[in-house]
């Protein structure tokens, strides 16, 4: 039984919600059964860090509020952010998102094309001036006045600024729009930049490659429920989704604390589920809720580390697509216990048996135990050409 299912079964607030009118309206509006809607609502409430008593208010906003107009622009990107919304494994999440918002312009999903599509965008902006939500997917090329990306004869820079001028909220979705992402990697010939850089002002950022659809859904629901965007961190990310390090909630964290690390893909530690820090996992320096909210609603372990690959830090500026995948992460808040080998232990000569014996005596340990501990401490690094290296 999942945590959400357990809560729905045992919480008084959930039982009260189950008998509410919101569920009847949800069935009529979204075509969802009561159980599915309760699960999605509970997930959104939990993701936003709200108390269980907020389920009624959130559900009421989802079922009664007028759908906000959304203008969705796409620039230097792979369409992965759109795909993450539309190809979610949950059978109702994509439908729920599209029923919560009025997607009045989206280049990938629009039935219209050319002049008709641009006319629809302008009409939606005029009809909803000051009330629509602008969502931008993809980086914006700034070099040479933005000539490397044009839509309808206008550069991405001009389109972004035009659409942002009268928007009630501006959201950068995905790492490309949030930081520059893959298009901005060196040598960055087009000058690919973030949406905030192009606009010259802060925006809401929902990074990830791709971003988790629940983070976008929860941000929209917060806007519908409270008439305002959620609390943001210094980089414009919703704190409910990006307020904690991935490392803090990782299912492999206990192995990190115990000093157990996989050192090669497929080795005994890797197969046993040991920590992937030595393989370059960026969880200790990446802020996101991946290990708690997962992807695709397909059960435990449905996220990169859960499937055996190190986190690449895709939600973090200056790490994803910038730092080598297998480079060691910077430990922000925690380090392994001192009695175990350091995560990035340098290689070299190692501790001698005599040194271990002295350490054992001083520590009141048996000699054998001292040698075993000393072996865990790794080896001393010596550069080629040093005196001790030449004496070998």
Ordered mean pLDDT values, 10 residues apiece, the chain (392 residues)? 59 64 75 78 81 81 84 95 78 74 89 89 95 96 95 94 96 96 94 96 95 90 88 94 93 91 94 94 95 82 92 94 91 70 55 41 41 39 41 38
> Which residues neighbour 105 within 8 Å (Cβ) at sequence distance 6 or greater?
70, 71, 72, 73, 117, 120, 121, 124
Alpha-carbon distance 75 to 138, whole Å? 5
Q: How far apart are CA 119 and CA 60, in angstroms?
A: 33
* Sheet-wide strand order for 133-137: 102-106, 69-74, 133-137, 169-173, 204-206
Q: Which helix (H) or strand (E) holds 71?
A: strand 69-74
Rounded distance between C-alpha atoms, residue 89 and residue 298, angstroms: 7
pLDDT of the residue at 96: 76
* Domain boundaries 69-212, corresponding CATH code: 3.40.50.700
Is the link from the previous residue into 231 a cis peptide, with omega within 30 of 0?
A: no
Instruction: Return the domain boundaries, the chain.
Output: 3-61, 69-212, 244-338, 346-379
Measured in degrees and rounded to the nearest 5, phi and psi for residue 376 equal: -75, -15
Note the pLDDT of residue 344. 62
Place of tokens 């298009």: 183
Q: What is the pLDDT of residue 387?
A: 41
Whose CA is closest to 141, among 94, 92, 176?
Answer: 176
How far is it, in rounded angstroms, from Cα 88 to Cα 80? 12
User: Within 10 A of 367 (CB to CB), how many other CB atoms are there?
Assistant: 14
∠34-102-175 over CA atoms, to 5°? Answer: 95
Residue 98: C-alpha distances to residues 29, 181, 225, 226 (Å): 12, 26, 17, 20
For residue 205, the SS3 value is strand
Q: CATH for 244-338?
A: 4.10.480.10
- Sequence-ordered list of residues with C-beta below 8 angstroms from that of 292, at least 6 positions apart, any chain: 249
User: What distance in Å separates the CA atoms of residue 1 and residue 210, rounded to the nearest whole number?
Assistant: 28
**Spatial CA neighbour of 165 closest among 200, 216, 116, 113:** 200
- Residue 268: how many other CB atoms lie within 10 Å: 10
Give φ, ψ of 178 to 5 degrees: -75, -45
Q: What is the pLDDT of residues 54-109, one digit of tens each?
A: 888 888 888 877 888 999 999 999 999 998 888 766 656 777 777 888 889 998 98
Strands 169-173 and 133-137: parallel
């Amino acid at each position: 039984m999942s945590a959400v299912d357990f809560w729905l079964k045992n919480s008084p607030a959930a039982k009260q919600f189950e008998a509410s009118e919101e569920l009847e309206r949800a069935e009529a509006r979204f075509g969802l059964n009561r159980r599915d809607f309760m699960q999605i609502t509970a997930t959104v409430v939990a993701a936003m860090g709200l108390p269980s008593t907020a389920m009624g208010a959130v559900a009421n906003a989802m079922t009664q509020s007028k759908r906000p107009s959304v203008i969705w622009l796409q620039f230097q990107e792979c369409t992965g952010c759109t795909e993450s919304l539309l190809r979610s494994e949950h059978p109702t999440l994509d439908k729920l998102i599209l029923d919560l918002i009025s997607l009045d312009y989206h280049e990938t999903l629009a039935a219209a094309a050319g002049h008709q599509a641009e006319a629809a965008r302008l009409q939606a902006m005029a009809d909803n001036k000051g009330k629509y939500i602008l969502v931008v997917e993809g980086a914006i090329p700034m070099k040479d006045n933005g000539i490397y990306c044009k839509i309808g004869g206008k550069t991405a820079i001009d389109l972004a600024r035009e659409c942002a001028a009268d928007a009630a909220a501006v959201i950068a979705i995905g790492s490309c729009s949030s930081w520059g992402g893959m298009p901005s990697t060196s040598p960055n010939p087009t000058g690919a930049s973030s949406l905030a850089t192009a606009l010259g002002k802060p925006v809401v950022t929902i990074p990830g490659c791709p971003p988790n659809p629940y983070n976008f859904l929860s941000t929209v629901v917060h806007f519908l429920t409270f008439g305002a965007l959620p609390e943001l961190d210094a980089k414009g990310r919703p704190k409910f989704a990006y307020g904690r390090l991935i490392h803090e909630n990782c299912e492999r964290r206990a192995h990190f604390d115990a000093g157990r690390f996989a050192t090669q893909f497929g080795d005994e530690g890797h197969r046993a589920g040991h920590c992937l820090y030595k393989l370059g996992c960026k969880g200790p320096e990446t802020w996101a809720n991946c290990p708690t909210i997962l992807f695709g609603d397909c059960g435990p372990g449905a996220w990169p580390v859960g499937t055996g690959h190190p986190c690449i830090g895709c939600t973090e500026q200056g790490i994803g697509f910038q730092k080598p995948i297998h480079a060691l992460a910077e430990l922000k808040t925690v380090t392994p216990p001192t009695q175990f080998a350091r995560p990035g232990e340098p290689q070299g000569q190692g501790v001698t048996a005599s040194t271990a014996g002295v350490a054992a005596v001083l520590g009141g340990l048996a000699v054998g135990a001292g040698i075993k501990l000393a072996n865990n401490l790794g080896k001393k690094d010596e550069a080629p050409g040093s005196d001790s290296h030449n004496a070998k």
